[in-house]
Structures are given as structure tokens and as C-alpha cells.
A and B are shown apart, each in its own frame.
Chain A
Amino acid sequence: MPQMSMIEAIRDAMDVKMAEDDNVVVFGEDVGYFGGVFRCTHGLQDKYGKNRVFDSPINESGIVGAAIGMAAYGLRPCVEIQFADYIYPAYDQIVSEAARLRYRSGEQFTAPITIRTPVGGGIFGGQTHSQSPESLFTHVAGVKSVIPSNPYDAKGLLIAAMEDPDPVIVFEPKRLYNGPFDGHHDRPASNWSKHPLGDVPEGHYTVEIGKASTFREGKAVTILTYGTMVYVAEAAVKETGIDAEIIDLRSLLPLDVDAIVESVKKTGRCMVLHEATQTSGFGAELAAQVQERCFYHLESPVVRVAGYDTPYPHAQEWDYFPGPARVGRELKAMMEAV
């Protein structure tokens, strides 16, 4: 089986879909000739031509707005927003238009568009290249949000998104593009070529949107997480020796509530872990779901570990980032709680 980085897996997903379906077009800032600032579309313009892979103006609302118009025509656009931090100009087009077309038009018009965008911190990118705005989108009716944590899921989820009849935002944790990252920024980086999840099948396959995966089985506590934090959780488990079950949600909306409930009822404890700021973050939804469905199985309060409610800082990145030490401390405290 081929070994791929997450970048290669994402590119391969687009390649597979472009070869299969003439209606797939790919565009965004720098995605054409140059192949994207993270190289996710490298080579696609050469292979499929400028009619189907092209550069867009620096105009995120225009990228998404044009994609909606193309989808109304019958195309299947897959667009890139260069950083999730740049997605806000497109917010109205996503929230008021893409997410609502089907509903408001009596299903005469739909917006089967895929919006790819690199998300999260850990690259010393400061407040404009590090944000995790996923909960701004999970709060919106009519748009799906997924976030893979490895090359296999990235390819399968992206293909599923590109085939979905509704708009899907694919948040790509940029710190995972080249390898898993456990939060220890001062240790050598690893890459996907040595990781089992870097095994990516050739050709077409999908990972179902709305299904979580159990990243690590355990009995002591459930950690609900996604993206980069999956590996941070894994590091914290190793370092504390606490036998946590790590659920990689993969899809935030729809959410795999059954997987969450099954795990929390088994372990009786739950940590919610994400990079995004804590207040009104997606973790609040997770904590509420657990409280509603697992209250009588809980042996301790649900704990949220998240980014502090500050803008994403630059020099203080590793104080801000909820790394394995902080996660480990919180895990120990949970286990000590009666």
C-alpha cells in the first residue's frame, strides 16, 4: 500500500475525483500554477488543465460565492481557503447561502460544494495562521464539518465530502500535514512514512461522514477530541499511564453521538479536548451531549481542555497550546476526583 503524507492523500483524493467526474473543478488562492501554499493541489493544473484547476483572486467570499453559482449550474466545486483564519469574508456566503439553498428553494437549488481549509496551530503562525473556527460552522444549520487526523481519513473524508449532496467544510489540521504531532514541539518531528495511518490505498474509497473512530481503546476515561489533539491525547496517555479511550470524532456535524455515549458509559469519565478557544467552543456541545445522555454513568464532572480565550498568540504559542503536559495534569486531576 502506498505511504502518503496528509498533503499527498488530500491531493490524491482530488485527483481521484477529478478523473472520475468532469464536473469537479478546483480553485482558490495560489492553487493553480503553484499548487497551493501547502502543495495540496500540486500538479493538478498540469493534469486537468486551467479550465478545471485555477487561481482565484484574494477574495474568499468570491471563492465560495462563485462555487455556489457553479454548483447551481451543476458543477462540483472543491475550493481551498488558504487558511481557516481567512474564511471570515466567506462566512455570509457559507452561512446565508451555501447552507440554506436547499432549504429555502424547496430543493430546486443545492450547493454540493467542498471547502477545504487548513486549520489549527503549532506552526508558529501567529493569530492569522493558527485559528480553529470550527464551532462557528457547526452552529450553522445546513453545512457539514469534518476534520481528519491522518492521511487515510483525509483522503476518505475528502472524497466523501466531494460526493456529498450538501456543502461540507473539510478542516485540515495543518500541523498534521507532514506527520503526527504530539505537542512536544521541542522534539524531532516525525512523518507519516513511518506511521500505520500513512498507509493510503490507491483509487477510490470513502470514510463515512458522521462516524467517529476509536483511536485508542481504554477503560479509565474517554477523551473526545479531533485533529491534532488526537496525538496530544495519545502522548498524555503514554506519559501519565492513565488508560484513556481516545475517540477521534472525525466528523463534527453530523456528530457520532452513539460512539460518544458508548465510550463514556463504559469509562464513566469524559474529557473534551480541542485547540479552539474554550468558551462556546465545540467542546461545549460535546459536554452538553455527554451530560444529557450519560449523566448517571459519570463518576466525575466532564472536563474541558481547550485553547485559552485569547487570540492565538505568537511568541507564547507553547504556553497557549493545550499540550500533553496540560492534558496530563487534567487527566490526573480527573482520576483523583471522586
Chain B
Amino acid sequence: MSDYEPLKFYVPEPTGRPGDEPDFTKLIIPDAGSARKPAIDCRPQEIKDLATTIIRVMNRDGEAVGPWAEGIDDDVLLDGLKAMIRTRAFDERMMTLQRQGKTSFYMKCTGEEAIAIAHKLAQTKGDMNFPTYRQQGLLLATDYPMEDMINQILSNEKDPLKGRQLPILYSARSHDYFTVSGNLGTQFIHAVGWAMASAIKGDTKIASAWIGDGSTAENDFHSALVNASVYKPPVVFNIVNNQWAISSFRGIAGGDEATFAERAHGYDIPSLRVDGNDFLAVYAVSRWAIERARRGFGPVLIEWVTYRVAPHSTSDDPSKYRPKEESTAWPLGDPILRLKNHLIARGLWSEERHAQAESEYDEEVRVATKEAESHGVMGAGSSPKDMFEAVFEELPPHLREQRQKMGV
């Protein structure tokens, strides 16, 4: 007889499924202001504790406390709040467009707005982002024409991407926004290559790489970290841990017990874990990481702890795979509400101004949408000729022949 019990196969499960009560007891939330702020040139092994805590700045009363609260301009906070309101208004309208059958697809970033927007505001023009599909805030925090985003979503005659790309997979080189791939994770190593090039050429620009908790399981995540570990290029790795990858909770990406931030330790890359719904914390830590990279101290990895309030996309229904009340029970709150309360407490904002901003951005989105719709919806206005262009710089003979046969 064998001494061994038969082995059991293990598949992790989230703390709740539909019908269950939300349970976030596993998420240990330290007090705001309790995490230390290390020197910009610290060695990675000196800050391992910051990969398991959650760096937070705003306390329950909306006060900014602790070492990470220092030196943030009021204008940044006001700009950030406005950009978040603008982004949420945009998302709501685009969702409606999809429901109306004017676009095939949309993805909202509800609840995650602070991360892309605060990070963007901490960057300098020329710092390049390698985003996923849920960083529309990187564009909406800038003067990138909103109408062009909608033209892309509608795949109409003014679509900057000529109808060739799925809605929301934008590309905006003029605004430091790399072409988004639907193959997840691939951009993480591109950011490293871009940052290597910046160092090779003696530039001072940095790259920001973006990935979701689920896609950290892709091999490109390892490729990016190992290459960053080897060459120490100026790259900031952003893991947006929003708890869910469609219906798979973070544990299916190996993030149930260990934090995503801790993964950097084996690569000798400093890492920090941050409250992604705390605009001040996102801004302060982004600024620290970007400054560190730009000063030549190499890569930084940041895990932004947040919650995907929205469905993954217009193609899924979260009530089929997670507790219905989970998003409202999320203990780190709503990023817009938290920054709003902070600014009101400091006398920099008011309920009236907030309501006014909401209606102004609703109107901006409405006008931009109307204008974009006049150029066609759901692919109307796209040209079959564009299908054959830009496969290569020059049309090769076999494509010319195929285009001629098609008669365009």
C-alpha cells in the first residue's frame, strides 16, 4: 500500500459568484499615509515591503496624508477630476452608441479612470505609452480630438485608422499613444524596446507599459521584465489589477495569494502597490517612478489595485460570473467621488461646479458624437480600397492583382 493519498487537482475560485455576498476580506487595506516614500535612487531590495502594502494618500475624511501627499499642484488635481468626469461621460455615451447599433463594440473603464489620467498628467510630452484597451483616459486627459476617437469607434469615413481596426483599439502617435493590440500583453515588451532605444540614443524620454492582471500571465510579461532587468531601460510597468479578466478572477492569473507587484522582485526591479482609486496616490507614485526612470535608475513596476466596475466589454454580462453587488462593495470606493470630496473639503471644488462639469462634458460628448455620426456609423463610409493599402508601404503585385479583381 502506498503512503500517499491520491493527488488532488486545484483550481482557484473567487470569494464570490452570482448569488453570493461580496467578500473582500482578503484585501488588506492599510491606513492612508502609512506607506513610506523611498529615495528616488533606492535599490530594489530596499523597498520590497512596498510591493505588499497598498500606498494610499487620501484618508476616509478626504484629507491627503503622509509622505506621498507632498508637492502635488492643485491644478493637477482639478485637471484630473475634469478629465475623469469627461472620460466617464464619454464611456456612457459610447456604450449607448453600441446599444443603438452604431458601433459593434465598446469597453468602458468605469472605476479605473484615475489610473490612466493621473499617470498621463505625471508624464512629459514625448513619453510614450503602450496601452491596453482600457486606457482611454490617456487620450481623454489630453487635447486629442474626441471626435477622432468616435470616428474610430464608428469606423466611418473620417476614422484615422481607415476602418481596419476594431473599435477602441486607437492609435495616436501625436499624443504618445501606441497602437493598441487585441492580442493581449504584446505591448509590454514593445515599451521595453522603445525605452532601450531612448537609452541607446541618449534621449531623456521614458516609456510607460500597460497590462491587466489577467494578461500578466502572457509570456510577453516575462519577456518585458527579463529584458528590463537586463538592460535597465527607462520604462514604467503598469499593472492595472482590476480583479477580473472577463469572467476569470485574478487568481486564474496566479494573483490570489501573491501580489502582482511582488513578481518584480525576482527580476531585481523595484515595485510598488498602490490604491488605483486614489488619484493623489496614482499621481504621486507615477511621478516618482517616471522621475526615477528619467534619472537613469532603470525600470519600475507598479500594481494599481482597482476594480472593474464595468463589464469587460459590450459582449459580456458580469452578473453571470460575479456577485451582483461586488462593484458597489469595492472597499476602495470610486475615484471620481473620492477626488471630488477631497477637493470640496479643501474649498477647491463644489457640488455646483461638479454638476456643471458633468453637464458640460455630457454636452461636449453629445456634440462630438453628432458630428462623428454625420460621417457615417457602423463602418459606413469606409472604403474597400483602404483594405488593400498599408499592408506594406508599397502595394506588392499580388495585392494589386487581388484589388483589381475586386474592382476597386
> A residues touching B (Cβ–Cβ < 8 Å)?
25, 51-52, 56-57, 59, 61-62, 65-75, 77, 89, 92-93, 96-97, 100-110, 141-142, 144, 165-166, 210, 253-255, 257
Contacts and interface: CB of A to CB of B under 8 A. Distances in A.
Contact of A105 (B171, B191, B230, B393): B171
Given A62-B192, A65-B192, 6 more contacts: A66-B196, A70-B193, A96-B181, A108-B173, A254-B397, A257-B397
Contacts of B181: 96-97, 100, 104
Given A62-B224, A105-B161, A254-B397, A73 B198 contact: yes
Nearest to A73: B197
B220 to A, nearest CB: 6
B393 A102 contact: yes
Contact of A69 (B164, B183, B193, B390): B193
A72 B391 contact: no
A42 B397 CA distance: 37
A59 B226 CA distance: 9
B179 A107 contact: no
A104 B392 contact: no
Contacts of B183: 92, 96-97
Contacts of B240: none
9 contacts: A25-B200, A56-B227, A59-B226, A69-B207, A97-B181, A104-B164, A106-B161, A109-B173, A254-B396
Contacts, number: 142
A89 B194 CA distance: 20
Interface in B120-155: 128, 130
A106 B396 contact: no
Interface string B306-344: 000000000000000000000000000000000000000
A216 to B, nearest CB: 25
B308 to A, nearest CB: 24
Interface in B202-231: 207, 219-220, 222-224, 226-227, 230
Interface in B152-207: 160-162, 164-165, 169, 171-173, 178-179, 181, 183, 186, 189-198, 200-201, 207
Contacts of A56: 227
B220 A65 contact: yes
Interface of B: 128, 130, 160-162, 164-165, 169, 171-173, 178-179, 181, 183, 186, 189-198, 200-201, 207, 219-220, 222-224, 226-227, 230, 390-393, 396-398
A166 B161 contact: no
B197 A69 contact: yes
Given A61-B220, A103-B390, A106-B160, A68 B193 contact: yes
Contacts of B207: 69
Contacts of B164: 103-104, 106
Given A59-B227, A103-B390, A65 B190 contact: yes
A104 B171 contact: yes
A75 B226 CA distance: 21
A290 B128 CA distance: 48
Contacts of B195: 69
Contacts of B396: 210, 253-254
A69 B194 CA distance: 4
Contacts of B191: 69
A59 B267 CA distance: 15
Contacts of A96: 181, 183, 186
A57 B229 CA distance: 10
Contacts of B193: 65-73, 77
Contacts of B189: 61-62, 65-66, 68-69, 93
A57 B193 CA distance: 13
Central interface residue in B196, B201, B226, B230, by most chain A CB within 10 Å: B196
Central interface residue in B130, B226, B391, by most chain A CB within 10 Å: B391
B197 A74 contact: yes
Nearest to A256: B397
Contacts of A67: 193
A73 B162 CA distance: 23
| Nearest 5 Cβ contacts at the A-B interface | A69-B193, A65-B189, A66-B193, A62-B223, A73-B197
B196 A70 contact: yes
A70 B390 CA distance: 20
Contacts of A165: 392-393
A92 B396 CA distance: 23
Contacts of A61: 189, 219-220, 223
Given A62-B223, A69-B197, A257-B397, A141 B190 contact: no
A68 B32 CA distance: 40
B131 to A, nearest CB: 13
A21 B249 CA distance: 48
Central interface residue in B161, B200, B397, by most chain A CB within 10 Å: B200
Contact of B219 (A68, A89, A97, A253): A89
Central interface residue in A51, A59, A69, by most chain B CB within 10 Å: A69
Contacts of A70: 193-194, 196-197, 200
A56 B230 CA distance: 9
Given A93-B186, A96-B186, A166-B392, A105 B197 contact: no
A142 B391 contact: yes
B390 to A, nearest CB: 5
Given A59-B226, A103-B164, A65 B392 contact: no
Contacts of A59: 222-223, 226-227
A108 B161 CA distance: 9
B384 to A, nearest CB: 14
Contacts of B223: 59, 61-62, 65-66
A67 B178 CA distance: 15
A210 B394 CA distance: 12
